[in-house]
Chain A
Amino acid sequence: GAVVSQHPSWVICKSGTSVKIECRSLDFQATTMFWYRQFPKQSLMLMATSNEGSKATYEQGVEKDKFLINHASLTLSTLTVTSAHPEDSSFYICSARATSGEWSYNEQFFGPGTRLTVL
């Protein structure tokens, strides 16, 4: 249980195109999901908090118009990187906060990550 999936696992795109990454909680409901970015050999940096049915909350320095987040259901959040450029190449990881079920309340579960390469 407590599985979070991401799709795709990797994606290569041309500069200027947009890329959508999906984050799904497979066996629990998640009113809140989080999006992280990880550069090579660095730590995870929180980009934004995605709330079901409302606008995402972005961390300081993260461009809202660049990284569009939609949390349309209790099991799905999407991150769209708009007009991607090579500097957006990174490993994107989502997590989902469990608010019900057998797990510790508010525990987060992490997805396997999506590697984005922008040419």
Chain B
Amino acid sequence: AQSVTQLDSQVPVFEEAPVELRCNYSSSVSVYLFWYVQYPNQGLQLLLKYLSGSTLVKGINGFEAEFNKSQTSFHLRKPSVHISDTAEYFCAVRSGTYKYIFGTGTRLKVLA
């Protein structure tokens, strides 16, 4: 069975500092990996995705993530965060069944 673990439920960080949100997955088959952002009372917005190819994936809003198969990780990074990045971030895995399995989410709080 597939699973996704987001190790940090909350991550406070000062504005303009770098941030890394951790995501580990478990799967016995090839997977596709996603990061979504959710602002309060809104749906999910895709930040980036790994389907195949280069393990370093660049997304919107300056975010990037690196797929590490040996460590079964897909950590999200941003070199300099803004107040507007404050939101909930979800890591998700999808296999051939088309179902998405979501992690429990990480609340990023950017402090002035």
Residues of A within 8 A of B (CB): 6, 32, 34, 41-46, 49, 91, 93, 95, 97, 104, 106-113, 115
Contacts and interface: CB of A to CB of B under 8 A. Distances in A.
A43 B43 contact: no
B105 A97 contact: no
B100 interface: yes
The residue in A42, A110, A115 that gathers the most chain B C-beta atoms within 10 A of its C-beta is: A110
Given A93-B44, A113-B41, A113-B43, A43 B102 contact: yes
A113 B44 CA distance: 8
B42 interface: yes
Interface string B73-107: 00000000000000000100010001111111101
A108 B105 CA distance: 19
B44 to A, nearest CB: 4
A46 B42 contact: no
A104 B51 contact: yes
B100 A34 contact: yes
A87 B82 CA distance: 36
A107 B46 CA distance: 11
